[in-house]
Amino acid sequence: MSSLRLHRQHPDQLLVGLVSISDRASSGQYEDQGIPALQGWLDQAIVQPSQYATRLVADEPEQVSAALIELVDDLGCDLVLTTGGTGPARRDITPEATLAVGTKEMPGFGEQMRQISLQFVPTAILSRQVAVIRETNDHAALIINLPGQPKAIAETLAGLKDDQGKSLVPGIFAAVPYCIDLIGGPYIETHEQVVMSFRPKSARRSA
């Protein structure tokens, strides 16, 4: 077992890797906003406090793939969220680097993210976010590409609600806890006012 591996402080603690992909932020030209936005949202959404490992890398496929592999294989993260590098520009290589390390593609996440973003801008069809499962001999993790803007990150994770708080378009995080269950990770519960996670009745713990 790697000496780098994170250790849960509670059996149901989620181990999360956060990766921001940006040439300018990784070179210090401006302060990264993606990782703080991701961690801030997760801290509000998940009942049991999570443990985080963060990486800030340039738009280079080898660097992105290496960061994802390290977070899953060496540190033992259950969930890895990336932000940035998912558009059509030549330097946007996050989806390719993610697919390169995945053992199973999870296309529903990308489909739903684009459905959410299309509620705001027609250019959402240009986004190329993907999600994959990475499996090793004794561990598996869910890796999801998210948008680069903090506002879009929150909208994608939480979904859209009306003025009364009723869900209009489900956010992708509603499906994340059950996915983590299915790949052998910890049992995650969410604060319903932020995002209501879904599990079939047979998969729910009794109160």
Whose tokens are 């033992």? That residue is: 76
Instruction: Find how far residue 185's CA is from the centre of its chain.
Output: 15
Q: What angle do CA 120, 43, 177 make, to 5 degrees?
A: 80
Distance, in Å, from the CA atom of 109 to the CA atom of 106, rounded to the nearest integer, reads 6
Q: Which two tokens stand for residue 88?
A: 């059509």
Which of 5-9, 141-145, 156-160, 202-206 reaches the highest mean pLDDT? 141-145
Domain 15-200 annotated CATH 3.40.1780.10: no
**pLDDT tens digits, residue range 14-66?**
999 999 998 776 677 778 889 999 999 999 999 999 999 999 999 999 999 99
